[in-house]
Amino acid sequence: GAGVSQSPRYKVAKRGQDVALRCDPISGHVSLFWYQQALGQGPEFLTYFQNEAQLDKSGLPSDRFFAERPEGSVSTLKIQRTQQEDSAVYLCASSLLRGYEQYFGPGTRLTVT
Amino acid sequence: AQKITQTQPGMFVQEKEAVTLDCTYDTSDPSYGLFWYKQPSSGEMIFLIYQGSYDQQNATEGRYSLNFQKARKSANLVISASQLGDSAMYFCAMREGRAGGTSYGKLTFGQGTILTVHP
C-alpha cells in the first residue's frame, strides 16, 4: 500500500512568510507525529495526534508553530512568520497505534532566506 | 543529559563483512522501547528493528539483529553480510512511558552514525 506522503518536498520561504506543510499518513493509522530534523542531527519531536486530537505539543519550539488534523487523517504543520532558525527538514510519521513502529514520510526541506 | 548516545559519527565496513553500530540509552522508566532506523541520502527514515524493554530475546529481522544488554543500557545494531546499499545514516531511538500517557509514543533519537560500505 501507499506510504506516508508529504508535500511540498522542498519549500523556500523568505523570512517573515507563513508556510504550510502537509502530511498524508498511511490509511488507517491512528497516530501521527511531526519531527524537525536539523542538518546533521537526529529528528526531534514536535507534536503528536491520536486521530484528530492533539495529545502532545510539548516539542513545538514557539507559538509560531501550529499543527492540526481536523478529520483524523491529513495533517498540516503551519509555521507563521518564518525565521532562519526554522530551516530544517520536517518529517511526518504515522503508526497504527501509539507505541508501534512509526513509518516516516520523505520529509519537507524548508529553507528560510 | 543525552537520552540516546551514538558515539560513532562514522563507520566503515567491507562488503560482506558484519558491522556493529553502538547505542546507549538513559531512562528511569522500566517500560520502554528501542528502535533503529536507516536514513539513506534520499532522506526517508526506514524502520529496521524494535526491541521492547521486557523482551527476553534479542530482536532479529533478516540481516539485522539488536544486541540488547539491559544492565549496560545498550542496544547495539548488528548488520551481517553488509551490502553496498547499506551505506546510509543510522539512528537509534527510544520510546518511553506507559501506554495511555500523553507522551507515550514519541521517539527520542540519537545523533546518528554514518555507515559507509566499501566494495
* Cis before A8 (ω within 30): yes
Enclosing H/E stretch for B114: strand B113-118
- Facing residues of B45 across strands? none
The pLDDT score that the predictor gives to residue B100 is 62
How many other CB atoms sit within 10 Å of the CB of residue B10? 10
For B:22-51, CB contacts with A below 8 A are 33, 35, 37, 42-47, 50
Q: With contacts defined as CB-CB under 8 Å, which chain B residues touch A106?
A: 42-44
Nearest chain B residue to A9, by CA: B43
Q: What is the pLDDT of residues B39-97, one digit of tens each?
A: 999 888 999 999 999 998 999 999 999 999 999 999 999 999 999 999 999 999 999 76
> In the A/B pair of chains, how many CB contacts fall below 8 A?
61
Which amino acid, one-letter code, is at A51? N
Cβ contact (<8 Å) for A101 and B103?
Answer: no
Per residue in A65-107, pLDDT (tens digit) is 999 999 999 999 999 999 999 999 999 999 987 667 889 999 9
Give chain B positions within 8 Å (CB) of A46. none
Enter the C-alpha cell of residue B97: 512511558
Q: Do A42 and B106 touch (CB under 8 A)?
A: no
Query: Would you state the pLDDT for residue A24?
Result: 97
The answer to whether B34 touches B96, Cβ cutoff 8 Å, is no
Question: What Cα–Cα distance (Å) separates residue A80 from each residue in A9, A14, A18, A62?
Answer: 19, 11, 4, 10
Rg (CA), chain B: 14
